[in-house]
Each structure stands twice: as structure tokens, then as C-alpha cells.
Chains A and B, each alone.
Chain A
Amino acid sequence: MKIDRRGFLKIGGLGILGVAVKPVIDVVSKAKLAEASSKKGVLVEKRLAMVVNLKNCKEGCTDCIAACHGVHNVPDIANPKDEVKWIWTESYENAFPDQEHRFIGGGMKGSPAILLCNHCDNPSCVRVCPTKATFKREDGIVMMDYHRCIGCRFCMAACPYGSRSFNWRDPRPFIKKVNPEFPTRTKGVVEKCNFCEERLAKGLIPACVESCKNKALVFGNVEDPNSEVREILRSNYTIRRKPGLGTGPQIYYIV
């Protein structure tokens, strides 16, 4: 085969064109699909979400953190370098940097906000994972497969909420009391909040929601107009973390 420069450029050009056109076709065909299924009203029947009412959250209380970390065998590694956390508090300004200003009132300034995985509608962590070790379920839960994760930490770079932790070392010596119902993890894998999918499967509500005595956490199906979360979203003004990034976070905050 003999290819001159002109021939090569022609073939190369066509190849590049093909690569460029493919995503456009994908988007158009996806858009059609979404349109068709939403008409029938069956696009999703269940979409799990949570409302965090920061007005009800008592400063100094760590019940939800203790409940979650206890039931999920989250190691208690004290140093910030290696720590693993599924649900934690951060000051309001750090949690909502785009909502911060000098005169924040209502007692929010410097007060702690409960943070966890946002179980995004359009999760960037899922998009970047090279092995599908993190994936989104039909009901919206963003899950982790600890046995498939290769520990590349691309998802940690992709998550704009700092919701993911890596096991920088063997976590087992740092688990005070192992819950035999839930697996412990090994070093070298990423983990995060799983919306208590193992409890949901048994008909229980998430451990953090159950443990909160002040009803600061409410969990449910936002696709169901009669659900408690929908009622709260209807009657309160709520905000989400960094909505401008297009990730579609499913944790709503009342401030």
C-alpha cells in the first residue's frame, strides 16, 4: 500500500470527523429517548433524596455521624490526612461557598452544616470511573463496588463536594466495634455514603435519619408527590450545594 501525504490527510480527516460526530448523534438520540419516556410518565418512578433542615440541627450533636459510621464500619482515623468519613460537619461558609457573604444572619455564620454524598442525578464520579466500580442505581443511589475499585481516585478528583474518602491504610484496626452485618473495607479502595441501601433493602430508613432526634434529616422518594420530602420541599425554601455545576445534587438544605 502506498499512501501519499494528501491521501493520508484525507483518511485522517474523515476519521477525526467520525469521532467528532458520534457524541452529537448520541446526545440527539438520548434526548429523543428521554422525551419519549417522559411523555409516558415512566421515566423514573422512584428517586431517593434527603432534606437537611439546618434549623433543627443542634450544634455539638453528632448522633447521625455516630450512627452512620457505626453501622457502616467507618474507621475512626483521627488525622485529617488519612481520615475516612461518610457524613460529617463543615462550617456553612465552606459547605456553601457560593452562598457566603459578610452579613450572613439567622445564626448560620460559622455554624456547622451536615454534609454527605449528594447522590447526584448527573454524578461526575460515575462518569470518570474507569471500571464502573461506582455507578448510579435506578432509584438514584450512587453506589460503590469495593471489590471492583482499583483505587485510581479519579472519582475523588471529579467529586466537587469532597464526599469521597480513600483507604490510605488498612482501616480495620481503627474500627472500634465491627458490625458483622456490613462489610469492612480493605486498604486502597474508595468509599462514601451509600444512602443505607443495605437498610433500605430491609425496609429500614437510613441510620442517620433514624438517629436524629430533632428531625433535621428527612429521607424519601421525591418522585412521589405525597411523600414527606416532597411536602417539606413544597412548604420550605431549600437550597443545594453548588447547583451551578450541573451535577443535580439530591440533598436539599433548609437554612
Chain B
Amino acid sequence: MASKLIRIASYQAESQQELSLRQAFDLLESKLRPPFPLTIPNPQEYTQLNQAIIYGVLIEPHFAKIHIKHLHAIVVDGYKLFLTLLVGIVNELYGKFVDSVKDQLIWVTREMIDVSAVGIDGLLVCLLRQIIGGDFSDGNLWLCFELVSVCLSKWDCLLEEEPLVLTSALYTFLRLLSDHCRLSSNLELGVLRQLEIEFCVRMLREQFHLCLKIGRDLVRLLQDLVHVPEFRTIWKDLVLNPTEFRIAGFSDISQLYCTRTSSRYFLLRITPEMETHLRFLLTHVMLGSQKRYQTWFAKKFLLGPERESLVVDIVRFLCCAHHPSNEIIQSNIIPRWAVIGWLLKCCRKNYIEANGKLALFYDWLFFNEKVDNIMNIEPAMLLMVCSLPNYIDFTHSLLEFLLLLVDNYDLDHKDILIRGVSSAFHTVVQKGVESRRPSPPRSTTLTPTLGGPTSTQIVMDDAKRTNDSLTQEVKNLRHKAQLQEVEQERTTKQLKEVMAIAEVETAKCKASHQDTTAQGRSQSL
């Protein structure tokens, strides 16, 4: 019998999860209509009954209320099993669900909120994860609309039972608003946008203590929305008038800067399928064999007019939510920095590339050894160092971007940014992260960027105190910068020389450092 739950294309294998639900339904169908038996099911029967009811609720909208009454009558575990099963099929099958099943899924979610089911937070989070950033298809916008409506209409209940779900929803909708506020032509999108704004503003104005739990990435998201009037006023209060939020102890935006954002927020913006593919890439695919995988990934997830904005979410995920084991670090498996470099190179729009770089360096700006994880800043360092031999311009542009951030990201808190970036440099150097660097002080062609800003010197000065090789590098850089001002022509020549030297050094390093570097790193991490 064909599935009423999912669309199965020709030549597609059946889903085992769908099959087990369907079999339970077929087996128990006659018992799913009143009068319901009064016997108490044994554990196996209980599981089957839960499976059958899920299948019934999803494929028989006209009987859904009866199925739910049945569920209320038999439930002995606070709906835990029911929700676990639902989360399982959403994670595996959401994209294949027929439309009426999606409607039912939202309906049953509301029912489960009303009874404060055990694990409702997990169900809402897994539904939020099915919303795809940068996707303006009807199906995706429908899901945004349904979920923001659930959050608004079930506000009181969620606030009381699962307030952190609202925080997760805030992260999600702030991020989505940066998409939805960019295109403004369509009427339906306008309605959705208003709902999303209403929800986010309500969170920020009424439940700011929950918003604070997001940490520094809340600022990153809000900044993308300062052009929207509703958020501009919030932003102004955040910067100029923090007491407006009436949170005891919250007196400055820097308190957000100092809070590292938990990885669960980054997972919210990556679908389970994307997560599986990225984690596979970073645990199984050898450096040098990644081309086909990258093509498939880009075709599936990044192709399409606005889909590119996902790059920013993926970079945050890679830096903060996927930390490879020492075993992987020592192997030839493709490292995170290489994937991030590829993603940044994929960007066709400048503002997305800039946001991608901001995502890459974001934890550098506020780095504090006590609360931050070195693994979050490691990819940026390695990307800069490892690009030196063959993509020196890229290293150049990354470093330039970092220095621009220090100078301009927040003029009122420049001291924090300088301290953060210095401390990040200090930490990566101390822990030997940059020991994979192909050619130590040869990065002299970075001079043009390092010539101007004074903060550069402060940043570099601080790092200098802690590390000899870096000190030497900085001296070289500054020296070369002066030279360059005098003699522009020589730069091109120097660049060529340095690139040649870098190539030779790379070869040497490859030969001699391969083993020792890996060992050194594993010990230090």
C-alpha cells in the first residue's frame, strides 16, 4: 500500500520509520475508533498504540480529534514517547511529508503545548530547524508563518512551561527577518514579516532577560536589522539607554559581548540534513577528495537566488558547534578552515562575504580565555596561516577585515575589541594552533593593511609580549609597511619573492613538520 504520509519518488527506498508507523496503524486501525477498550496496554502495545495514533493524527485530519482523545485516555508517560516518535519522523521525513500532513503536524503541536507534554521544547526546536534560511519558497514561508503564529498564540503557556523555546524562536526569527526585510515587494511576505517583528519586539521589550541568554550573537543578529524602524529604536536603547530594558544588573551592551553564545543556537539554523552532510564531510572525507562533496552540498543547499545567506549560519556552526577530536585533527581529513575558505569563496554577494567573515571572527572580538573556547577561534587562524602559500591575497583580505572590525565594530568599546583580539592571538599562539603555519615570518606582504590603523599596533603589541615569532612577524610587517610607503613599486616584487619563499617553506614544512605538528597540537589542545 502506498504511503499517505510521505511522497516517495520512483526508485526511492521505503523509509523504515514510516513503515513501522504504518504497520502499527494497519494492525490497530479497528481499535482506533470508539468505544475504546478499557484494558491497560502492556509496554509493547503502548508503543504500537502511540505509533498508530501518530500515523492516524497525521493522515486522517477528519478523525484527528478522536485520535487525540484516545491518546489522552491512554497516556501514562506525560506524552514523552509520543513526542519522541514525532521528533524522529520530523527530523527524518519532514521534507517528504505531503502538505496535509504538515498541517496536521502543526495542529498536533498546538495540542501538545496545551497539555504541557514532556519534550514539547524538543518538538518545537526540531520544527524551527526545518525552516531554511534564505529560502523564499511557499513551503518554507508557510512554516515560518505557522511557527511564529504558534509562538504568539501560545505565548503565555510557553513562557511558563518552556521559556527557553521562546529564546530559540527569537534567535530563529531574528535571523530570518534579515532575509524577510531585504525583499519587500510581496504582500504575503509583508504579513509574515509583521508577525515575526511583533514576536521579536515583544521578546526584546517584555522578556529581555530571556534574550540575554543568547549572548553575543544576539548583537550580531540585531545589527543586521537596524535598518528596520522597530529594531532601530531597540538598538538605540541597547546602546544608549540599557536601563530601558529594566533588567537588574544590565547596564551595558558589553555584558552581551562577554557572553559566549551556546552552540545550540547555531544548530537552530542548520537543518538536520545539512548537519549530517557537514559532519560527514569533516569526519570522513580526506583533504584533496572533497571536490565532489562540495559540489553536491552547494547544489543542494546553496543554489538559488538568496540561499547564499546560509553561508553565514554554516560558518558559525563550523566554528562553534562542530569541534573535531584530536584523532581527526591529526588525520588527513579535511579541516574546518578549508571548508570555511571554500564557503567564503562561494559567496557572490559582497555583503554576504562580509557577514561570513564577521561570523568567522566574531568570537575573536570578545575573546576571553576564561569563558571562550579556543576551538571557536582556531579556524580563522588556520585559514589565514594556511592560505599564505597559495592564496596570499585571501589571507590579506581576512587580516584586513579583522583589523577593520577592531577599528570600527564598536567605537565605544574599542578597548574590549582590542583586548579580545589580542587575547585571541595570544591564545592561539600559546597553544600552538598556528604551528601549522607553513612559513613563519614570511607573511611580509600583509604590509599594506597593517600600515595605517594604530589599533593594529596595540593588538600586535600585546600579542608581541607573549610570543617571539609573532613579535618578529609584527616587526617585519611594520618595517615593510614603512618601506612600502616609500616605494610602492617594490611591493609587487616583494610579493612575488615572498610567495616563492612561502612555497619552498611549505614544501619543507610538509616534509618535516607533518608528524611533530600534529603531536604538538594534540597535546596543547
- Our verdict on whether A and B bind, yes or no, reads no
Chain B interface residues toward A at CB < 8 A: none
Which residues of chain A have a CB within 8 Å of any CB of chain B? none
